[in-house]
Amino acid sequence: MDSLNVPLPTDDTPHVDSLSQPDATSRRGFMQGALVSSAAATFSTLGASSQAQAQTEAMRSTLNHYHLPATDKTVHWGYFSKNLPPFIEVMSGDFVTIETLTHHAYDDFERMIKGDPGAESVFYWDKTRKGVDRRGAGPMHASLFGRGAGEGLGVHICTGPVAVQGAEPGDILEVRIIDVNPRPCANPQFPGKSFGSNAAAWWGFHYNDMIEEPKPREVITIYEIDTTGERDWARALYNFRWVPQTDPAGVLHKTIDYPGVPVDHSLVQENWGVLKHVRVPIRPHFGVLGLAPREADIVDSIPPSYTGGNIDDWRIGKGAIMYYPVAVPKALLSVGDPHAGQGDSGLCGTAIECSLTGTFQLILHKQSTLKGTPLENLSYPLLETPTEYVLHGFSFPNYLADLGAKAQSEIYTKSSVDLAMRDAFRKMRHFLMTTQGLTEDEAVSLMSVGVDFGVTQVVDGNWGIHAVVRKSLFAGGEI
């Protein structure tokens, strides 16, 4: 991988709320009132036992609420990097509202980009200028495959990073997802709607195992989401088969090999009325949410790892809490790959990829406060929902370290559900033994009779199995 070569902001002050002035490029700090933290404090079970954190919060009478819009200036596309200067630096307890854009928006410009200044600035691409040039962790000069800057080795538009004051390797960052909302379509032709794209792509589990002709093929399905709150389901509008698309730089994309390539709808055949009467449950969540890893300067956004990233679990939505081991100073949180819904497995390669805005509260747990708490020695991303704890196993728990210098390419050749199951078992055993004080024998029995293992995804290089244990198992008192 070459060195980081991407236009970066030169200061790290917080952003203004640019929803009302979407083309704003100025950046200044603000406080959006004092959100009371006590409501959110009862939210967390595991984090609450870190006494020092609670004291820190109690000492602050006012918490800040920042807003980070998604624009060509505030996103990094297709990679994590510990070298990215942050846009906002928050204190533990602060809130951040973060806009995120789906990298599949150009599958239907009219419905997912047009009229939206943030999206237009990010996706802008003509012969002379790209809104965001680097897309992926590959070389800027596309010397590997000729696809474009960054080579599409990593695809997700990530907003951030957000720095957390005082965060250091060894600490745990708790990220509470306070709210998640679809980004309304800005095209006046489609009031009260949002839209998403599902690409059945070459990296999908199905791709080399099709039964209908022509084989293989890539198919994009456009889904409609109601933003008025009337429907908790999405419906499909139409689909089309990918045909070779030439980007504004003149590069021909025979397959979906580079993110944000404008789809020329005069070249594709739109099939309307697909999945008629089918109601897909809405499960808004962030496919990518995580911290910068320490192992490399620039890291492909696709494989998830110990710092989170592209976990692609639909449970990472409103009301959920993620706990991440901090790997680099200031933690550096980024958010992207917004999904309106996904099934466990993400089988065809993508979810309903749909721009969302989330509000997060960030709580820093210093390493010195973790001793004897459930977060001590947490070395993997841990999810807590109101009713469950969810552990994420991967084919390789820290593939960057596990696979050596060529990890970022090797990971795509070694994916295995079997390995992910092994990792999920080990993580759940660790969780039960440390947070619930069980012996190994107790943990193993409980895992067999009361813990559910599911397939998170089989499409993200580092494949995932999650293990779900319900909190109600531990709700009993003395019998």
In the window 334-373, what residues touch a second copy (CB under 8 A)?
341-352
The string of DSSP codes covering 433-478 is HHHS---HHHHHHHHHHH-EEEEEESSSSS-EEEEEEEGGGG----
Q: Contact at 8 Å (CB) between 223 and 68?
A: no
Task: Give the end-to-end CA distance of the chain in Å, rounded to a whole number.
Answer: 58
Q: Which is nearer to a second copy, 163 or 200 (CB)?
A: 200
Give least dist CB 268 to a second copy, A: 13
Candidates 131, 136, 204, 336; binder of a second copy (CB under 8 A) is 204
Q: 422 in helix, strand or coil? A: helix
Q: Report, in Å, the least distance between residue 342 CB and a second copy.
A: 6
347 or 401: CB nearest a second copy: 347
Number of neighbouring beta carbons within 10 Å of residue 191: 10
Give the nearest distance from C-beta 314 to a second copy in angstroms.
Answer: 9
Binding mask 437-476 for a second copy (x = CB under 8 A): -xxxxx-xxxxxxxxxxxx--x------x----x-xxxxx
Query: Which 8-state DSSP code applies to residue 112?
Result: H
* Least spacing, CB of residue 346 vs a second copy, in Å: 6
Provide the residue count of the chain.
479
Q: Which is nearer to a second copy, 334 or 395 (CB)?
A: 395
Residue in 48, 54, 91, 274 binding a second copy, rule: CB under 8 A: 274
Least Å distance between CB 101 and a second copy?
A: 19
Nearer to a second copy, 302 or 352 (CB): 352
Q: Which of 282, 333, 291, 299 is nearest to 66 (CA)?
A: 333
Judged by CB, which is closer to a second copy: 251, or 473? Answer: 473
The whole-angstrom separation of Cα 447 and Cα 81 is 36
* Smallest distance, a second copy to C-beta of residue 396, A: 15
Q: Which of 411, 421, 427, 462 binds a second copy (CB under 8 A)?
A: 421
206, 243, 262, 268: residue in contact with a second copy (rule CB under 8 A): 206
Distances (CA, A) of 433 to 202, 370, 394, 398, 436: 40, 16, 20, 21, 6
CA–CA distance, 434 with 182 (Å, rounded to integer): 37
SS3 state of residue 150: coil
Pick one of 188, 214, 244, 477: the residue that binds a second copy (CB under 8 A): 477
Residues 21-80, interacting with a second copy (CB under 8 A):
none
The answer to whether 425 contacts a second copy (rule: CB under 8 A) is yes
Which CB atom, from 187 or from 345, has the smaller least distance to a second copy?
345
Considering beta carbons, is residue 109 or 453 the nearer one to a second copy?
453
The three-state secondary structure class of 381 is: coil
**Least distance between a second copy and beta carbon 337 (Å):** 14
Taking each helix axis from N to C end, the angle separating 440-450 and 417-435, rounded to the nearest 10 degrees, works out to: 120
Tokens representing residue 266 in the block:
């005069």
Q: Hey, which residues between 170 and 199 contact a second copy (CB under 8 A)?
A: 198
Give the number of residues in contact with a second copy, rule: CB under 8 A: 73
- Cα distances (Å, whole numbers) of residue 469 to 19, 104, 438: 39, 33, 14
- Map residues 208-237 to x or -, x wherever contact with a second copy holds by CB under 8 A: -xxxx------x-x-x---------xxxx-
Nearer to a second copy, 261 or 465 (CB): 465
Give the integer Cα–Cα distance in Å for 168 and 62.
24
Nearer to a second copy by Cβ, of 211 and 405: the residue is: 211
Residue 129 contacts a second copy per CB under 8 A: no
Which helix H or strand E contains 419, and what residues bound it? helix 417-435
> 3-class DSSP state for residue 390?
strand
